[in-house]
Amino acid sequence: MADPVHGPVIELGDAADPRVDVYSRLTDAALRRRQDTVHGIYLAESSQVVRRALAAGHHPRSFFLAHRYLDSMADVFAAHPQVPVYTGTDAVLESITGFHLHRGALAAMDRPAPRTLDEVLTGARRVAVLENVSDHTNLGAIFRSAAGLGVDAILISPECADPLYRRSIRVSMGTVFGVPWARVGEADGRGRTAWPEALHGLRAQGFAVAALELSDTAVDLDSPALRDHDRLALVMGAEGPGVTAEALAACDLHVKIPMAAGVDSLNVAAASAVAFWELRPRA
Ligand SMILES: C[S@@+](CC[C@H](N)C(=O)[O-])C[C@H]1O[C@@H](n2cnc3c(N)ncnc32)[C@H](O)[C@@H]1O
Protein backbone atom coordinates (compact mmCIF):
# COMPACT_ATOMS: atom_id res chain seq x y z
CA MET A 1 0.00 0.00 0.00
CA ALA A 2 1.24 3.54 -0.69
CA ASP A 3 0.71 6.23 1.92
CA PRO A 4 1.61 9.94 1.48
CA VAL A 5 3.04 10.14 5.00
CA HIS A 6 4.67 6.75 5.45
CA GLY A 7 5.72 5.90 1.89
CA PRO A 8 5.25 2.28 0.86
CA VAL A 9 4.32 0.51 4.12
CA ILE A 10 4.42 -3.27 3.82
CA GLU A 11 2.71 -5.44 6.41
CA LEU A 12 4.66 -8.64 7.08
CA GLY A 13 2.44 -11.59 7.77
CA ASP A 14 5.06 -14.26 7.46
CA ALA A 15 8.46 -14.62 9.11
CA ALA A 16 9.75 -16.37 5.99
CA ASP A 17 9.12 -13.35 3.73
CA PRO A 18 12.23 -13.20 1.49
CA ARG A 19 12.02 -9.41 1.16
CA VAL A 20 13.27 -9.06 4.73
CA ASP A 21 16.08 -11.62 4.59
CA VAL A 22 18.56 -8.89 5.47
CA TYR A 23 16.94 -8.61 8.91
CA SER A 24 17.03 -12.32 9.68
CA ARG A 25 19.14 -13.98 12.38
CA LEU A 26 20.69 -10.74 13.53
CA THR A 27 22.08 -12.35 16.67
CA ASP A 28 24.52 -14.50 14.67
CA ALA A 29 27.55 -12.19 14.41
CA ALA A 30 29.64 -14.40 12.11
CA LEU A 31 26.76 -14.95 9.70
CA ARG A 32 25.97 -11.25 9.68
CA ARG A 33 29.54 -10.31 8.86
CA ARG A 34 29.44 -12.52 5.78
CA GLN A 35 25.95 -11.44 4.71
CA ASP A 36 26.51 -7.76 5.24
CA THR A 37 29.75 -7.75 3.28
CA VAL A 38 28.29 -9.75 0.39
CA HIS A 39 25.20 -7.56 0.19
CA GLY A 40 27.08 -4.30 0.81
CA ILE A 41 24.84 -3.30 3.67
CA TYR A 42 24.95 -2.60 7.36
CA LEU A 43 22.13 -2.60 9.90
CA ALA A 44 21.31 0.53 11.86
CA GLU A 45 19.55 -0.44 15.08
CA SER A 46 17.34 1.97 17.06
CA SER A 47 15.46 5.00 15.82
CA GLN A 48 18.18 7.33 17.07
CA VAL A 49 20.94 5.45 15.25
CA VAL A 50 18.87 5.33 12.06
CA ARG A 51 18.46 9.11 12.23
CA ARG A 52 22.20 9.58 12.80
CA ALA A 53 23.05 7.36 9.86
CA LEU A 54 20.74 9.37 7.63
CA ALA A 55 22.15 12.64 8.97
CA ALA A 56 25.61 11.36 8.00
CA GLY A 57 24.37 11.06 4.42
CA HIS A 58 24.08 7.27 4.31
CA HIS A 59 21.42 5.75 2.07
CA PRO A 60 18.64 3.47 3.38
CA ARG A 61 17.49 0.39 1.44
CA SER A 62 14.56 -0.37 3.75
CA PHE A 63 13.15 0.28 7.20
CA PHE A 64 11.88 -2.42 9.57
CA LEU A 65 9.88 -1.64 12.69
CA ALA A 66 6.92 -2.63 14.84
CA HIS A 67 3.56 -0.94 14.37
CA ARG A 68 3.93 1.14 17.51
CA TYR A 69 6.99 3.02 16.18
CA LEU A 70 5.55 3.98 12.78
CA ASP A 71 4.24 7.40 13.78
CA SER A 72 7.45 8.48 15.51
CA MET A 73 9.41 7.87 12.28
CA ALA A 74 6.85 9.37 9.88
CA ASP A 75 9.12 12.31 9.03
CA VAL A 76 11.94 9.94 8.08
CA PHE A 77 9.70 7.87 5.82
CA ALA A 78 8.31 11.02 4.21
CA ALA A 79 11.86 12.13 3.42
CA HIS A 80 12.55 8.76 1.72
CA PRO A 81 9.30 8.03 -0.11
CA GLN A 82 10.81 5.34 -2.35
CA VAL A 83 12.22 3.26 0.50
CA PRO A 84 10.04 0.35 1.67
CA VAL A 85 8.89 0.34 5.30
CA TYR A 86 8.40 -3.21 6.59
CA THR A 87 6.19 -3.55 9.64
CA GLY A 88 4.35 -6.21 11.55
CA THR A 89 3.45 -7.48 14.98
CA ASP A 90 6.19 -7.87 17.57
CA ALA A 91 5.85 -11.64 17.28
CA VAL A 92 6.42 -11.71 13.52
CA LEU A 93 9.33 -9.24 13.63
CA GLU A 94 11.02 -11.03 16.51
CA SER A 95 10.75 -14.36 14.76
CA ILE A 96 12.71 -12.78 11.88
CA THR A 97 15.43 -10.97 13.83
CA GLY A 98 15.81 -13.37 16.74
CA PHE A 99 15.54 -10.72 19.44
CA HIS A 100 13.04 -8.34 21.01
CA LEU A 101 12.85 -5.04 19.16
CA HIS A 102 12.49 -2.44 21.87
CA ARG A 103 14.63 0.37 20.50
CA GLY A 104 12.41 1.43 17.65
CA ALA A 105 13.33 1.15 13.99
CA LEU A 106 15.93 -0.91 12.20
CA ALA A 107 17.20 0.09 8.79
CA ALA A 108 19.24 -1.71 6.16
CA MET A 109 21.73 0.89 4.92
CA ASP A 110 24.14 0.92 2.00
CA ARG A 111 27.70 0.54 3.24
CA PRO A 112 29.57 3.74 2.40
CA ALA A 113 32.63 3.34 0.19
CA PRO A 114 35.77 2.66 2.27
CA ARG A 115 37.90 5.74 2.83
CA THR A 116 41.54 5.85 1.89
CA LEU A 117 44.32 6.45 4.36
CA ASP A 118 45.04 9.83 2.80
CA GLU A 119 41.41 10.89 3.15
CA VAL A 120 41.19 10.12 6.85
CA LEU A 121 44.61 11.58 7.70
CA THR A 122 44.15 14.92 5.97
CA GLY A 123 44.44 17.57 8.66
CA ALA A 124 44.45 14.98 11.47
CA ARG A 125 46.64 15.60 14.52
CA ARG A 126 45.51 12.76 16.78
CA VAL A 127 44.88 9.29 15.36
CA ALA A 128 43.96 6.06 17.14
CA VAL A 129 45.21 2.82 15.60
CA LEU A 130 43.43 -0.32 16.75
CA GLU A 131 45.23 -3.62 16.36
CA ASN A 132 43.05 -6.76 16.38
CA VAL A 133 40.36 -5.23 18.57
CA SER A 134 37.79 -7.92 17.87
CA ASP A 135 35.20 -7.05 20.50
CA HIS A 136 32.38 -4.93 19.05
CA THR A 137 31.58 -3.35 22.39
CA ASN A 138 35.15 -2.17 22.92
CA LEU A 139 35.34 -0.93 19.35
CA GLY A 140 32.13 1.10 19.70
CA ALA A 141 33.24 2.52 23.05
CA ILE A 142 36.60 3.61 21.57
CA PHE A 143 34.82 5.41 18.72
CA ARG A 144 32.59 7.21 21.20
CA SER A 145 35.58 8.32 23.26
CA ALA A 146 37.46 9.36 20.14
CA ALA A 147 34.53 11.50 18.99
CA GLY A 148 34.03 13.06 22.40
CA LEU A 149 37.70 13.71 23.14
CA GLY A 150 38.82 15.19 19.84
CA VAL A 151 40.56 12.29 18.09
CA ASP A 152 40.51 13.07 14.39
CA ALA A 153 40.63 9.61 12.82
CA ILE A 154 40.75 5.90 13.59
CA LEU A 155 42.72 3.26 11.68
CA ILE A 156 41.90 -0.40 12.18
CA SER A 157 44.12 -3.40 11.45
CA PRO A 158 42.96 -6.25 9.19
CA GLU A 159 41.77 -8.41 12.10
CA CYS A 160 39.79 -5.69 13.83
CA ALA A 161 36.02 -6.02 14.21
CA ASP A 162 33.68 -4.15 11.88
CA PRO A 163 32.80 -0.62 13.05
CA LEU A 164 29.56 -0.96 11.08
CA TYR A 165 28.43 -4.11 12.86
CA ARG A 166 25.19 -3.21 14.64
CA ARG A 167 26.58 -3.63 18.16
CA SER A 168 29.61 -1.41 17.43
CA ILE A 169 27.33 1.23 15.99
CA ARG A 170 24.98 1.13 18.94
CA VAL A 171 27.69 1.26 21.61
CA SER A 172 29.37 4.09 19.70
CA MET A 173 26.07 6.02 19.81
CA GLY A 174 26.40 6.47 16.07
CA THR A 175 29.82 8.16 16.28
CA VAL A 176 31.18 5.54 13.84
CA PHE A 177 29.38 7.65 11.23
CA GLY A 178 31.23 10.80 12.20
CA VAL A 179 34.82 9.84 13.05
CA PRO A 180 36.70 9.20 9.79
CA TRP A 181 38.09 5.67 9.80
CA ALA A 182 39.89 3.31 7.44
CA ARG A 183 41.07 -0.28 7.50
CA VAL A 184 44.80 -0.48 6.84
CA GLY A 185 47.34 -3.21 6.11
CA GLU A 186 45.00 -5.64 4.38
CA ALA A 187 46.43 -8.47 2.30
CA ASP A 188 47.40 -7.63 -1.26
CA GLY A 189 46.46 -9.80 -4.26
CA ARG A 190 49.19 -12.28 -3.31
CA GLY A 191 47.94 -12.70 0.25
CA ARG A 192 50.73 -10.63 1.84
CA THR A 193 49.44 -8.47 4.64
CA ALA A 194 50.92 -5.05 5.11
CA TRP A 195 50.28 -5.03 8.84
CA PRO A 196 52.05 -3.68 10.88
CA GLU A 197 54.11 -2.12 8.04
CA ALA A 198 51.20 0.28 7.56
CA LEU A 199 52.45 2.06 10.67
CA HIS A 200 55.49 3.25 8.72
CA GLY A 201 53.14 5.10 6.38
CA LEU A 202 52.00 7.15 9.35
CA ARG A 203 55.56 8.07 10.21
CA ALA A 204 56.11 9.12 6.61
CA GLN A 205 53.23 11.57 7.08
CA GLY A 206 54.87 13.17 10.09
CA PHE A 207 53.19 11.22 12.88
CA ALA A 208 55.01 10.04 15.96
CA VAL A 209 53.72 6.48 16.35
CA ALA A 210 53.25 5.50 20.00
CA ALA A 211 52.06 2.14 21.32
CA LEU A 212 49.75 2.47 24.31
CA GLU A 213 51.06 -0.54 26.17
CA LEU A 214 52.55 -1.54 29.50
CA SER A 215 55.91 -2.54 28.01
CA ASP A 216 59.25 -2.46 29.85
CA THR A 217 60.34 0.62 27.92
CA ALA A 218 57.06 2.54 28.17
CA VAL A 219 57.11 6.14 29.39
CA ASP A 220 54.32 7.45 31.59
CA LEU A 221 51.33 8.95 29.81
CA ASP A 222 51.85 12.34 31.45
CA SER A 223 55.47 12.70 30.25
CA PRO A 224 55.70 16.33 29.06
CA ALA A 225 57.65 15.30 25.93
CA LEU A 226 54.58 13.50 24.58
CA ARG A 227 52.72 16.77 24.29
CA ASP A 228 55.33 18.19 21.92
CA HIS A 229 54.19 16.01 19.04
CA ASP A 230 52.03 17.92 16.62
CA ARG A 231 50.88 14.68 14.95
CA LEU A 232 50.54 11.63 17.17
CA ALA A 233 49.20 8.15 16.39
CA LEU A 234 48.35 5.93 19.32
CA VAL A 235 48.36 2.16 18.73
CA MET A 236 46.14 0.05 21.02
CA GLY A 237 45.78 -3.70 21.31
CA ALA A 238 43.19 -6.32 22.09
CA GLU A 239 42.11 -7.58 25.48
CA GLY A 240 44.41 -10.46 26.34
CA PRO A 241 47.29 -10.23 23.89
CA GLY A 242 47.68 -6.44 23.84
CA VAL A 243 49.73 -4.79 21.08
CA THR A 244 51.67 -7.52 19.23
CA ALA A 245 55.46 -7.70 19.42
CA GLU A 246 55.67 -6.85 15.70
CA ALA A 247 53.58 -3.71 16.10
CA LEU A 248 55.47 -2.69 19.24
CA ALA A 249 58.69 -2.95 17.25
CA ALA A 250 57.23 -0.75 14.50
CA CYS A 251 56.38 2.05 16.95
CA ASP A 252 58.62 5.01 17.82
CA LEU A 253 57.84 4.80 21.53
CA HIS A 254 55.65 3.07 24.09
CA VAL A 255 53.38 4.84 26.54
CA LYS A 256 51.76 3.48 29.68
CA ILE A 257 49.10 4.52 32.12
CA PRO A 258 50.70 3.61 35.46
CA MET A 259 48.52 1.15 37.35
CA ALA A 260 47.84 1.16 41.07
CA ALA A 261 46.87 -1.44 43.66
CA GLY A 262 48.19 -4.45 41.79
CA VAL A 263 45.74 -4.02 38.89
CA ASP A 264 47.40 -5.36 35.72
CA SER A 265 45.78 -3.15 33.10
CA LEU A 266 42.65 -1.30 32.05
CA ASN A 267 40.08 -2.43 29.55
CA VAL A 268 41.24 -1.10 26.16
CA ALA A 269 38.25 1.24 25.79
CA ALA A 270 38.85 2.71 29.25
CA ALA A 271 42.57 3.09 28.48
CA SER A 272 41.75 4.83 25.20
CA ALA A 273 39.60 7.46 26.94
CA VAL A 274 42.31 8.25 29.50
CA ALA A 275 44.96 8.53 26.79
CA PHE A 276 42.84 10.54 24.34
CA TRP A 277 42.22 13.16 27.01
CA GLU A 278 45.80 13.35 28.27
CA LEU A 279 47.33 13.46 24.79
CA ARG A 280 44.93 15.99 23.27
CA PRO A 281 46.65 18.78 21.35
CA ARG A 282 47.19 21.69 23.74
CA ALA A 283 47.88 24.36 21.16
C1 LIG B 1 43.67 -5.31 28.56
S2 LIG B 1 44.95 -4.56 27.72
C3 LIG B 1 46.03 -5.93 27.34
C4 LIG B 1 46.97 -6.13 28.44
C5 LIG B 1 48.08 -7.14 28.17
N6 LIG B 1 47.58 -8.41 27.91
C7 LIG B 1 48.98 -7.22 29.37
O8 LIG B 1 48.69 -8.00 30.23
O9 LIG B 1 49.91 -6.46 29.39
C10 LIG B 1 44.36 -4.13 26.15
C11 LIG B 1 44.95 -2.88 25.62
O12 LIG B 1 44.54 -1.80 26.43
C13 LIG B 1 45.57 -0.81 26.51
N14 LIG B 1 45.92 -0.66 27.92
C15 LIG B 1 45.23 -1.14 28.96
N16 LIG B 1 45.77 -0.75 30.11
C17 LIG B 1 46.84 0.00 29.81
C18 LIG B 1 47.80 0.74 30.58
N19 LIG B 1 47.76 0.73 31.90
N20 LIG B 1 48.75 1.42 29.92
C21 LIG B 1 48.80 1.43 28.57
N22 LIG B 1 47.91 0.76 27.80
C23 LIG B 1 46.94 0.07 28.39
C24 LIG B 1 46.69 -1.30 25.64
O25 LIG B 1 46.59 -0.71 24.36
C26 LIG B 1 46.45 -2.81 25.57
O27 LIG B 1 46.98 -3.36 24.40
Determine the average pLDDT of the residues in 117-132: 95
Superfamily of domain 117-278: SPOUT methyltransferase, trefoil knot domain (3.40.1280.10)
Q: Where are the domains of the chain?
A: 2-110, 117-278
What gap in Å lies between CA 184 and CA 114, rounded to an integer?
Answer: 11
Q: State whether the beta carbon of 141 lies less than 6 angstroms from ligand 1.
A: no
Pick the atom of ligand 1 nearest to 211's CA.
25
Determine the average pLDDT of the residues in 123-142: 97
Q: Report CA(154)–ligand 1 centroid distance (Å).
A: 18
User: Does residue 8 surpass a pLDDT of 90?
Assistant: no
Out of 21-25, 109-113, 141-145, least confident range: 21-25
Q: Report CA(204)–ligand 1 centroid distance (Å).
A: 26
pTM, full prediction: 0.90
Q: What is the pLDDT of residues 165-181, one digit of tens each?
A: 988 999 999 999 999 99
Q: State whether the beta carbon of 43 lies less than 6 angstroms from ligand 1.
A: no
What gap in Å lies between CA 226 and CA 197, rounded to an integer?
Answer: 23
Q: Do domains 2-110 and 117-278 have the same CATH topology?
A: no
Phi, psi of 101 (to 5 degrees): -95, 95
Beta strand residue intervals within 15-93, DSSP E: 41-45, 60-66, 85-88
Which percentage of the chain shows pLDDT scores above 70? 91
Pick the atom of ligand 1 nearest to 272's CA.
13
Give the closest residue (by CA) to ligand 1 atom 1: 239
State the CB neighbour count (10 A cutoff) for residue 134. Answer: 14
Residue to mutate (ligand 1; options 131, 268, 272, 279; most atoms within 8 A of CB): 268
Pairing between strand 126-130 and 219-220?
unpaired
Pick from 5, 10, 2, 8: which is nearest to 78 by CA?
5
Q: What integer best gives the mean pLDDT of the chain? A: 90
Q: State whether the beta carbon of 240 lies less than 6 angstroms from ligand 1.
A: yes
Q: State whether the beta carbon of 237 lies less than 6 angstroms from ligand 1.
A: yes
Q: What is the pLDDT of residues 25-50, one digit of tens each?
A: 766 666 666 666 667 899 999 999 99
- What is the band of 190 on the pLDDT scale with cuts at 50, 70, 90? low
Q: State whether the beta carbon of 275 lies less than 6 angstroms from ligand 1.
A: no
- What is the band of 1 on the pLDDT scale with cuts at 50, 70, 90? very low
Superfamily of domain 2-110: Ribosomal protein L30/S12 (3.30.1330.30)
What gap in Å lies between CA 106 and CA 49, rounded to an integer?
Answer: 9
